[in-house]
């Protein structure tokens, strides 16, 4: 006997064998049990999800010698012949071939009045029914609405919207869904065991994902890989035969983006091209990795879901979750989706891929403009950032930018790139900006006596990195500097400033050693002190400001930073 492909050999023969379509199969079985059988059915859904298979099973259930029954025996002549496609009373018609109205009249309409030769019902299964012409649909309308009692129509389609509403209103419409990768992988495992095929779970999951929700496509892919490697299949065989993008390459690219390592990103793109990967598929896999990371950031319990995280990449994905904010993941997903479309029509897809990775690095540096303005206003008031201010939308473990800035599409109006130290003039030799560690009114902190080098330390931090000083150091609830070391204390609701301080620990340690003249311990902690209640804002009053005070305000680092981002010709300072 000639070889039979797995997709045909393991085609479901009962409703229980149909995967992922419980709503449809339960409805059909209940209709058979109650003898409430419609005269026409429309089965709609994506390819390879069981539409034609369900039509055949329904035809067997109607014509089984024990039927109509929800459980056809599979042993009588009607059941066997229908399964093999040679029952004379069950006509399976390809609408793509019989498109014209003359074919419909000859094959279907003229035979309606003829009683079945042997079976209980004459069944017409019209596959890809949306391919029929408009005149063919019109010719079928009356037959579908009032067929003889021994006739049942079953129509399958992948494009439900192309079927006229006049036809849909005369039939029961059952919509099929794509099958989850987890369900497909479990079925592949069962078939592989029955066929004595050795394959790891990771390889079967790749086959399931390659099918994109189609059981038939996944079985065809398994047949293809089996022809290449025999009955012993490895993950590398699946990647090689199907041209899939390895998960390791995708995660390496995300690591390079997090580290802002542009040379590594270029090298990884080169590696993908050398392996012959379709860069559109690479973009798609990067988008899927972004989606997986976002799911894990929202619901950490999904780490055990194989449809989200595979066993082989669980540790790396979990390590990456803490290094991406949800906003960065959402923006990265949109960017990669657009990049896939750009690559599709590009003469140089490699350039588009490389620029997409660089834009992704750039987008991670964006900070909401409202937070920059809020932080600057708080420093001008001499109170630091308010405790209720929203946290900065930055990645959890973002290193200090070392790579050069790369041009990217214009960000949304609410985002700007924080100016680096090179864009801010050196701080004037003045006392450091107010920090909540000071015993200033309203900070509610019983600050410990500062060491001799505390003011010098703050001055050095301010002059070296004004933006970091204003947005992170100035938000600290308490800063202690004495012979035992330096402590930056943040309130529990200041997780992001604390995390950013942790990211710059090495640089802070060097500054402390430079100022103190010794390698002292550096502690970055949360404080249990209650948050201070900020005073109620007074009504704004425009009071005259002396020229000296106005000049002092205009020379403030934060004001100069804002003016650098938003240059204006005339600036007015009002007193409070």
The Cα 436–Cα 384 span in angstroms is 6
- 71 dihedral zone (left: phi>0; alpha: psi -120 to 50; beta): beta
Domains 6-175 and 181-242 share a fold: no
**For every residue of 166-203, which 3-state class applies, written as one string?**
HHHCCCEEEECCCCCHHHHHHHHHHHHHHCCCECCHHH
At 122 the pLDDT is 93
Contact 371, 390 (CB under 8 A): yes
Closest by CA position to 143, among listed 119, 111, 116: 111
The Cα 207–Cα 197 span in angstroms is 14
Identify the burial level of 51 via C-beta atoms within 10 angstroms of its C-beta, where 0-12 means exposed, 13-18 middle and 19 or more buried: buried
User: Which sign does the torsion angle of CA 4, 5, 9, 11 carry?
Assistant: negative
User: Which sign does the torsion angle of CA 466, 468, 469, 470 carry?
Assistant: positive
Contact 84, 78 (CB under 8 A): no
User: Which sign does the torsion angle of CA 265, 268, 273, 277 carry?
Assistant: negative
DSSP assigned state of 543: B
Closest by CA position to 115, among listed 147, 83, 156: 147
* Token output for 540: 């704004």
| pLDDT tens for the 576 residues of the chain, in order | 578 899 999 999 999 999 989 999 999 999 999 989 999 999 999 998 999 999 999 999 999 998 789 999 888 999 999 988 889 999 998 888 888 888 888 888 888 888 888 889 999 999 999 999 899 999 889 889 889 999 999 999 999 999 999 999 999 999 999 998 889 999 999 999 999 999 998 889 889 988 888 999 999 999 999 999 898 998 888 988 888 887 888 889 999 998 888 999 999 999 888 888 888 989 988 998 898 888 888 888 877 777 777 666 778 888 888 888 888 888 889 999 999 989 988 888 999 999 999 999 888 777 666 666 666 555 555 544 444 444 434 333 444 444 433 333 444 433 433 443 333 333 443 444 444 434 333 333 333 334 468 888 898 898 888 888 888 888 888 898 888 889 999 988 888 888 889 889 988 988 988 888 888 899 999 887 665 554 444 444 445 555 666 777 777 767 776 666 566 665 666 554
At 409 the pLDDT is 42
| Three-class secondary structure of residue 470 per DSSP | helix
At 540 the pLDDT is 46
* Token output for 341: 């479309």
User: Which sign does the torsion angle of CA 72, 74, 78, 80 carry?
Assistant: positive
CATH number of 247-363: 1.20.272.10
Q: Largest Cα–Cα distance in the chain?
A: 107
Q: Cis omega (within 30 of 0) on the bond before 180?
A: no
At 547 the pLDDT is 65
At 112 the pLDDT is 86
What residues contact 436, with CB distance under 8 A and at least 6 apart?
383, 384, 443, 445, 474, 475, 476, 477, 478, 532
Contact 215, 49 (CB under 8 A): yes
The Cα 306–Cα 308 span in angstroms is 5
DSSP assigned state of 430: S
Identify the burial level of 315 via C-beta atoms within 10 angstroms of its C-beta, where 0-12 means exposed, 13-18 middle and 19 or more buried: exposed
Contact 253, 272 (CB under 8 A): no
* 60 phi and psi angles, rounded to 5 deg: -65, -45
Torsion angle defined by CA atoms of residues 124, 128, 133 and 137, in that order, rounded to the nearest 10 degrees = 40
Q: What are the sequence ranges of the domains in the chain?
A: 6-175, 181-242, 247-363, 372-418+431-526
At 436 the pLDDT is 40
CATH number of 6-175: 3.40.50.300
Contact 504, 468 (CB under 8 A): yes
- Angstrom CA distances, 14 to 25, 68, 218, stand at 10, 14, 20
At 220 the pLDDT is 93
Element (H, E) at 151: strand 151-157
User: Which sign does the torsion angle of CA 434, 435, 441, 447 carry?
Assistant: negative
The Cα 231–Cα 218 span in angstroms is 16
User: Which sign does the torsion angle of CA 258, 261, 262, 265 carry?
Assistant: negative
User: Do strands 40-44 and 172-175 pair parallel, antiparallel, or not at all (unpaired)?
Assistant: parallel
At 432 the pLDDT is 41
From the options 3.30.310.40, 3.40.50.300, 1.10.8.60, 3.40.50.720, give the CATH code of 181-242.
1.10.8.60
């Amino acid at each position: 006997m000639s070889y039979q492909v797995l997709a045909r050999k393991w085609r479901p023969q009962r409703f229980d064998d149909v995967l992922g379509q419980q709503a449809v199969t339960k409805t059909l079985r209940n209709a058979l049990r109650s003898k409430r059988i419609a005269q026409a059915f429309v089965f709609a859904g994506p390819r390879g999800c069981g539409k034609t298979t369900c039509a055949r099973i329904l035809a067997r259930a109607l014509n089984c010698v024990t039927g109509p029954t929800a459980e056809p025996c599979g042993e009588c002549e009607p059941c066997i012949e229908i399964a093999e496609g040679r029952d004379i009373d069950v006509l399976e018609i390809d609408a793509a071939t019989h498109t014209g109205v003359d074919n419909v009249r000859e094959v279907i309409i003229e035979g309606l009045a003829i009683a079945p030769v042997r079976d209980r019902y004459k069944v017409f299964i019209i596959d890809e029914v949306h391919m029929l012409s408009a005149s063919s649909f019109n010719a079928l309308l009356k037959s579908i609405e009032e067929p003889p009692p021994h006739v049942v129509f079953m129509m399958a389609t992948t494009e439900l919207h192309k079927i006229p509403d006049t036809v849909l209103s005369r039939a029961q419409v059952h919509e099929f869904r794509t099958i989850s990768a987890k369900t497909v992988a479990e079925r592949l495992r069962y078939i592989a065991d029955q066929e004595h095929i050795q394959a790891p779970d990771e390889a079967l999951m790749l086959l399931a994902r390659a099918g994109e929700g189609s059981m038939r496509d996944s079985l065809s892919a398994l047949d293809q890989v089996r022809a290449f490697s025999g009955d012993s299949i490895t993950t590398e065989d699946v990647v090689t035969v199907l041209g899939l993008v390895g998960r390791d390459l995708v995660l390496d690219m995300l690591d390079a983006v997090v580290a802002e390592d542009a040379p590594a990103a270029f090298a990884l793109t080169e590696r993908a091209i050398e392996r012959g990967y379709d860069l559109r598929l690479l973009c798609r896999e990067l988008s899927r990795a972004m989606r997986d990371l976002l799911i894990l950031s929202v619901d950490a319990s999904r780490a055990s879901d194989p449809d989200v995280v595979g066993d082989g990449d669980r540790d790396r994905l979990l390590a990456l979750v803490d290094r991406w904010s949800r906003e960065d993941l959402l923006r990265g997903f949109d960017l990669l989706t657009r990049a896939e479309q750009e690559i599709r029509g590009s003469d140089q897809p490699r350039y588009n891929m490389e620029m997409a990775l660089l834009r992704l690095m750039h987008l991670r540096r964006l900070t909401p403009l409202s937070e920059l303005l809020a932080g600057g206003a708080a420093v001008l008031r001499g109170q630091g950032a308010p405790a209720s201010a929203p946290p900065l939308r930055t990645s959890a473990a973002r290193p200090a930018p070392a790579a050069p800035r790369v041009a990217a599409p214009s960000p949304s109006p609410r985002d700007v790139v924080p100016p680096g130290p090179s864009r801010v003039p050196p701080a004037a030799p003045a006392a450091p900006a107010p920090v909540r560690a000071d015993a200033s009114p309203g900070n509610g902190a019983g600050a410990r006596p500062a060491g001799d080098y505390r003011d010098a330390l703050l001055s050095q931090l301010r002059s070296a990195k004004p933006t970091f000083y204003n947005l992170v150091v100035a938000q600290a609830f308490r800063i202690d500097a004495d012979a035992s070391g330096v402590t930056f204390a943040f309130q529990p609701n200041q997780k992001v400033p604390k995390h950013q301080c942790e990211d710059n620990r090495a640089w802070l340690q060097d500054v402390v050693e430079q100022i103190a003249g010794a390698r002292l311990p550096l502690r970055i902690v949360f404080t249990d002190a209650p948050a201070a209640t900020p005073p109620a804002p007074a009504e704004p009053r425009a009071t005259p400001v002396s020229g000296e005070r106005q000049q002092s305000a205009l020379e403030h680092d934060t004001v100069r930073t804002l003016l650098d981002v938003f240059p204006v010709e005339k600036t007015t300072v009002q007193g409070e």
